[in-house]
């Protein structure tokens, strides 16, 4: 297996370098310095800024420099806009994103798979039809509508009209942080050595986005898993299991689920890299300083160091996920051989 993994990594190196090349080249189609300096800049200032950013060097030199930094995991280059080291920016943006995307993924996958199984087992009946109508309805409404309604009813109305403030309209406080920093706060926290976990911060700032994320994603996922399960439910081994007198519960959760693992793994693994990039909309509206927000701000302000580093990081995660998916296939299905 390790030989396979190493071989795949080696095969992916040119792809990875190609992605970085394309992104860097595309970023440089238009000169970012004009927008950076604004309307008052003289040609001399534009030229000096170009030199300071290293944009006056040949493209291939800029490319080689960046690849060398990536190879050494050196993300110390500073953001043009924020002047902070890019590595530090990415490191601080990942946890808030993960506190939203990971619970969303787990909840969505669990609930959707369960509903998919129930629907397939009750195919064509009122329960299946009702759940599918709800799924289509859920898919048909824009994410933005859920966010705006969620903020209004889930945070504003609940707080104003009912005096309940489980969720904040907007904002973020660290869910996991250094013990030293948490000691001054009034929130209740749990010790994790030098670190502390503050569950109320998660409830206040992350839970509403998670609920919205689950509602939005469930429509798509439920339909997908239902289709997978329906296909599985027509297989011979299900008929055999029924003939042998297996209970519906056992057929659903043992036989069907086990055999449907390949499409489930594929679906979940595709989602994994996006756990890092997060949801731009949710982060923008809820003011969560996550990766999605960092990336979109960097793109709109043409902050090349941040965009390049994020793309390099994201491309690396995608490649690792693809390899991990292959490995998981072999683990859950003995018919798959890694060679």
Partner 1 sequence: MGRIGSCLSTRGITRGIAAGVVCTLLAAPALAQKVLQLPIRTDGPKSLDPVEGSTTYDNMACVQMYETLLSNKYSDPYSYEPLLLEELPTTADGGKTWHFKLKEGVKFYSPHGPIFGGKNTRTIVSDDVFYSLKRIADKNNQLKNWWLLSDTIEGFNEYMEEQNAAGTFDYDAPVAGFRKIDDREFEIVLSKPVTKFLWILTMFQTSVVPREAVEAFGEDFAFKPVGTGPFILDEWIPKQRLSVNRNPVYREVFYPERSEWSREDRRRRLHLPAGERVPFVDRIEFTMFVEDNPMWLQFRAGKIGYTEVPDEYYAQAFDKRTHQLKPEMASEGVDAHANKLLDFIFRGFNMDDAVVGGYTEKKKALRQAMSLAMDLDEFNRTFYSGLNVVYDGPIPPQLDGHPEDGRSPAAYQGPNLELARQKMIEAGYPSGEGLAPIKYYANRGGNSPEQTELMQRQLARIGVRLDVQLVDFSTLIEFVNKKKAPIFSFAWSSDYPDAENNLALFYSPNESPGSNHFNYKRADYDAMYEQILTMTPGSERTAIYEQMRDMILEDVPYIGSMARERHYLINPWLLNCKPTERFYSWYKYLDVDDAKRPG
Note the residues at the interface with partner 1 (CB under 8 A): 30-32, 34-43, 45-46, 48-49, 52, 78, 81-84, 147-148, 151-152, 155-156, 159-160, 163, 169-172, 284-287, 289, 293-294, 297, 302
Of 151 and 308, the one with the shorter C-beta distance to partner 1 is 151
CB of 42 to partner 1, least distance (A): 6
Of 35 and 91, the one with the shorter C-beta distance to partner 1 is 35
Taking alpha carbons only, the member of 251, 249, 248, 224 closest to residue 237 is 251
CB of 87 to partner 1, least distance (A): 15
Of 36 and 197, the one with the shorter C-beta distance to partner 1 is 36
Give dist(CA 217, CA 221) in Å, integer.
6
Of 113 and 282, the one with the shorter C-beta distance to partner 1 is 282
Q: Token pair for residue 159?
A: 């707080």
- Other Cβ atoms closer than 10 A to 244: 8
CB of 148 to partner 1, least distance (A): 6
CB of 294 to partner 1, least distance (A): 8
CB of 290 to partner 1, least distance (A): 10
Of 163 and 245, the one with the shorter C-beta distance to partner 1 is 163
Taking alpha carbons only, the member of 318, 302, 298 closest to residue 90 is 298
Of 168 and 221, the one with the shorter C-beta distance to partner 1 is 168
- The per-residue DSSP string of 132-171 comes to HHHHHHHHHS-HHHHHHHIIIIIIIIHHHHH---SS-SS-
Q: Token pair for residue 163?
A: 């005096």
CA–chain centroid gap for 5, Å, is 24
> CA-CA distances (angstroms) from residue 302 to 27, 68, 82, 294?
8, 22, 12, 12
CB of 203 to partner 1, least distance (A): 18
């Amino acid at each position: 297996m390790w030989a396979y993994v190493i071989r795949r990594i080696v095969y992916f190196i040119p792809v990875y370098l190609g992605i970085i090349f394309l992104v860097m080249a595309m970023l440089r189609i238009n000169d970012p310095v004009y927008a950076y300096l604004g309307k008052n800049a003289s040609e001399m200032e534009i030229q000096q800024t170009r030199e300071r950013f290293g944009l006056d060097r040949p493209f291939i030199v800029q490319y080689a420099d960046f690849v060398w930094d990536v190879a050494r995991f050196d993300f110390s280059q500073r953001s043009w806009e924020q002047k902070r080291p890019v590595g530090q920016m990415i490191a601080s943006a990942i946890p808030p994103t993960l506190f939203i995307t990971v619970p969303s993924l787990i909840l969505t996958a669990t609930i959707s798979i369960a509903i998919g199984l129930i629907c397939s087992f009750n195919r064509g009946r009122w329960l299946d039809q009702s759940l599918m109508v709800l799924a289509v309805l859920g898919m048909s409404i824009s994410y933005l509508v859920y966010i705006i309604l969620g903020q209004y009813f889930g945070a504003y109305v609940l707080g104003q009209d009912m005096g309940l403030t489980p969720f904040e309209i907007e904002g973020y406080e660290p869910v996991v942080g250094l013990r030293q920093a948490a000691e001054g706060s009034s929130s209740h926290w749990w010790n994790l050595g030098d670190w502390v976990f503050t569950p109320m911060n998660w409830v206040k700032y992350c839970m509403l986005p998670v609920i919205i994320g689950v509602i939005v994603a469930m429509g798509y996922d439920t339909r997908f898993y239902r289709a997978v399960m329906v296909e599985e439910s027509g297989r011979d081994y299900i008929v055999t299991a029924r003939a042998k007198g297996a209970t519906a519960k056992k057929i659903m959760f043992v036989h069907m689920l086990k055999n449907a693992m390949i499409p489930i793994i594929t679906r979940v693994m595709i989602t994994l890299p996006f756990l890092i990039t997060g949801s731009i909309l949710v982060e923008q509206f809820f003011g969560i300083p996550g990766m999605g927000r960092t990336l979109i701000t960097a793109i709109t302000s043409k902050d090349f160091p941040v965009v390049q580093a994020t793309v390099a990081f994201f491309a690396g995660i995608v490649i690792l996920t693809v390899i991990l998916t292959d490995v998981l296939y072999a683990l859950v299905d003995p018919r798959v051989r890694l060679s």
